[in-house]
Structure 1
Amino acid sequence: MIENARSLNIAAGLILLVGMIYILGPLYLMLVTASQSYGAMLQNGMAWLPGDQLLANIGRIFRDTHIPVQLANSLVVAAGDALASCVLSFLAAFALVYFGARWAGIVFALILATIMLPIEIRVITTYTVAANVLSPVNGLLDFSGLNGLIARLLGAPLHLEWSVLDTHFGLIAPLVAHGTGTFLFRQTFLTLPKDLSKAARMDGAGPLRFLLDIVLPLSRTSFAALFVLIFLGGWTQYLWPLVATSTPRMQTAVVGLARLAPDEQGGVMPDFPLIMAGAFVVSIIPLVMIAVLQRYLVRGLVLSEK
């Protein structure tokens, strides 16, 4: 007996339609606003039909703002964060699953605990460390009494300084280590046959060859899925690039987009067509990435479940 699910299909279709309108509606308004001129926006307010100024407003973005340079910064930060996080998470999960350490469960629990400490919570301490990466060395010299000996020999204590603020490394490094990627790869490795590593050892493959020739090809979908997720997170990161950079040429595109709106309006309406054109330009790269790699994203997340 085949159940008649026509009413259920209609309800599901309506829910899907409402969801599409909810998601695509703001994108449509963004494009419509970006296609208007500033004068027309002042006279008529928000428009509901597209105008003819989209290309002109995009040209203003590339000509009159720092968004092009900031797009390059965002690409470097997001890609660097995604690649470093994937490699670090892959190696950590490989060690936890295949090396059989006694304390692997405790280590994995501590790695998962980092999920509860995002950059927004530890931004002050992260900024302090980034302002002088060598501050722990200075503290160790003071605690051990070596600075007193150095002061007697050289006339002044040793104080080392190395700031990574306003650098790409300083923007990437604090975002790399978190437990999401390790959890994803660990679940992927647990879906592989348990005797795979034993068979590799019988064939004479060491840990490195087993990692590169067997585990890595089998994990490419999870690698691609995690890369996309972390890339999107790094691309939309706002707080840390805002705190860690002080010049427009080192800021990311999301921070630069927020800078397009004046801090003190003084009764003057912001240039919303320019801002929406900037939002459109900033959104192109992540949208293209999702469209191209969506099948890897879905397959990587589904195959990692166990």
Structure 2
Amino acid sequence: MSQTAVPENAPSGESLLEVRDLRTEFTTARGTVAAVRDVSFSIHRRERLAIVGESGSGKSAMAMSIVGLLQPPGRVVGGEVLLEGRNLRGLPDAELSRIRGRRISLVFQDPMSALDPIRSIGSQMIEAIRAHQDVSRKAARRTAADLLGEVGVVDAARRLSDYPHQYSGGMRQRVLIALALANSPELVIADEPTTALDVTTQAQVLELLDRLVTDRRAALMLITHNLGIVAGYCDSVKVMYAGRLVEESSSRELFRAPAHPYSRELIKCVLRTDQRQEGRLATIPGSLPDPTKPFVGCAFEPRCPVGHDNPLCQSTEPVLVPFGRPEANHATSCHFPGATRQESVS
């Protein structure tokens, strides 16, 4: 397992969560899909970690595997998920449910499917609070109103009686953040929390999430396909492709010196508001490999501007190895880290 970048505000050596060789599969009519392939990393207390990659790279499957919410036909087939040294895999459902929401919480990417449409916001929040706290229904309702007010819902006490469809998309996402923070968890996993929101609302939701997590001294794992939001909100980054981690570093180092060709291509796709956009928008040609077929060589090779058609890249799968400055905690899985096409074939 490669070394994980540690943010400046995290106590040295104090890991909150460790994921070791996690493997997740989905059984489909076309065959077995290897969604998460031997993923290992750790997250420290108060760290802001981003997991980035295209849709289909395995980010959400990994998140659901960590918290034990993966539904059939998905299943975790190997690895460990350690919360302060305790393996969450194999715990009874009742015990795992006590950990979810209390110590680890999840902000889902689709608030309409995450919220029960036939129950009021208040009843759902009260249930979540009382599941982990020994308080009366009246006290839980007061806490729910306070939380809604904290996430920016006006007239929060009255709006507890409203239903999800009476909230806008941005406000529903704020409700999910309030639910995730209701029991002051130590780790918040936010799975694409701004996917369906306009740019202005995205910024508001991210700033709100960052502030509330900071106030509670919690760690944040932000899962996103948009590298553009990483630099402003995260200390460290893991880049995921075809179910594996292909690069990890501090967010500053990733933007300063990306080592993997996939990371560089993702950065090129980021729209810059401080620069004039000319010509066509940047895209990564091709698509993710068929996950039902065995992987031979580097999964990114068919799309790679550096290693395309290179015999080494086609035959041997690279592993994460250190790259660049030792103090940067930077690692990448590439046979030609930081190289151009000319350098890889020379």
TM-score, normalization by structure 1? 0.22
The structure with the larger Rg is 1
**Larger RCO (CA within 8 A; separation ≥ 6):** 1
TM-score, normalization by structure 2? 0.20
Give the structure with the higher percent strand: 2
Give the structure with the higher percent helix: 1
